[in-house]
Amino acid sequence: MLPRPAHAGLRHVALHTPALEAMKRFYVGLLGFAVEWEPDADHVYLTSGLDNLALHRAARPPATPSVLDHFGLVVREADDVDRWAAYLAQQGVALTARPRTHRDGARSCYFKDPDGKTVQIIHHPPIAGKA
C-alpha cells in the first residue's frame, strides 16, 4: 500500500457565475484579490498571494441548487473579523451574520457575493498564523 502523499491544504476554489464582471469587481475591488490570469473573456483567476479563486462564466445559474454552503477567507487576528465587518458595512455590503466568537474559539462574520454565495471572514486559531 502506498503512503498518503502530503498536501498544502485547500487553496483553490472555482465558481461558475452568470455575472463574471460583477464577481470580478467584488473580489478584486472590495475584497482585495489580484488578477493572476485572465486567459479570455469567460475566465478569470484571482489570488490573495496564498490561494487561487477561479471565476468561470456560466450562461445562466445551474438548474440544480449548489451544494456549497459557504467558503471562508482566513484572517490572522480575531479583531480583523470586526475590522472587515466595519469595512464591508461602510461599502454597503450587508452582513448575513454579524461577528461572533464560536465555541471552538474561532471568530467570524458572513455576507453574500453578487451571485448570492455566502462568504465567511474567519479567524480560526489553529490555522490563522500559517500563511
What pLDDT does 89 receive?
95
Asked if 80 and 131 sit in the same domain, the reply is yes
Distance of CA 44 to the CA centre of its chain: 15
Instruction: Please give the tally of structural domains in the chain.
Output: 2
The answer to whether the predicted template modeling score (pTM) of the entire model surpasses 0.85 is: yes
Alpha carbons 129 and 10: distance in angstroms, whole number: 15
Asked if 97 and 73 sit in the same domain, the reply is yes
Asked if 57 and 72 sit in the same domain, the reply is no
Task: Give tens-digit pLDDT for 94-111.
Answer: 999 999 999 889 999 999
Distance of CA 57 to the CA centre of its chain: 17
* Residue range of the domain that includes 21: 7-61
> Which positions of the chain have pLDDT values less than 70?
61-65, 131
Would 2 be classed as within a structural domain?
no
Would 119 be classed as within a structural domain?
yes
For residue 52, give the CATH number of its domain. 3.10.180.10
Alpha carbons 22 and 85: distance in angstroms, whole number: 21
